[in-house]
Amino acid sequence: DLAKRNEDMYLFSPYDVERVYGKPFGDISVSDHYAEMVEDPRITKKKINARHFFQTVAELQFESGYPYIMFEDTVNNANPVKTGRINMSNLCSEILQVNSPSSFNDDLSYEEMGSDISCNLGSMNIALAMDSPDFGGTVEAAIRGLTAVADKTAIDSVPSIRHGNDQSHAIGLG
């Protein structure tokens, strides 16, 4: 909205936001807290032109394909499974699932195990798949294969990923 109206926007110091709110910047909904962060003198901020910022991002995306952008409000509003807040995705945004941080004891054992994201992704040659006499069966076979991968994924060295995978069972097929 700010870019559409050619207004200024603020960038916030993640360190200051965490100090003031008591949780990491990435765990805070900027949309919900934007106005109060702008007004809070304890948070260092920088004013920039929103339209110029998004124009620069658009030019970079056109030239290189980067950066990838996930619109957090849209993702959370469209999420049919309301088990928590989605605040990140994998690079291409095929996997959007709720995650939660782990906390650790001094000996690095889990105080509380969080849920991290597991990207179980597959791809098909769309031209060949569309030529299949049974397109639905082809897609179903691919989904069954990805489901088997998700079911068999055992990341013992990172239990929080296994926990998140067991909870969400996220797969992506493209």
Question: Which H helix or E strand runs over 11?
Answer: strand 8-12
The pairs formed by 137-145 with CB atoms below 8 angstroms and a separation of 24 or more are 139/173, 142/173, 143/171, 143/173
The yes-or-no answer on residue 94 being catalytic is: yes
> What DSSP line would sit under 112-141, residue for residue?
E--B----EEE---HHHHHHSTTHHHHHHH
Longest dimension (CA), the chain: 64
Active-site pick, 92, 111, 112, 140: 92
Tokens 């807040």 — which residue?
A: 85
The yes-or-no answer on residue 92 being catalytic is: yes
Token digits of residue 62: 């056109």
Question: Which H helix or E strand runs over 135?
Answer: helix 135-152
Active-site pick, 18, 49, 79, 94: 94
Would you say 52 and 6 are in contact if contact means Cβ atoms under 8 Å apart? Answer: no
Active-site pick, 49, 76, 79, 90: 90
Which residues are marked as active site? 90, 92, 94
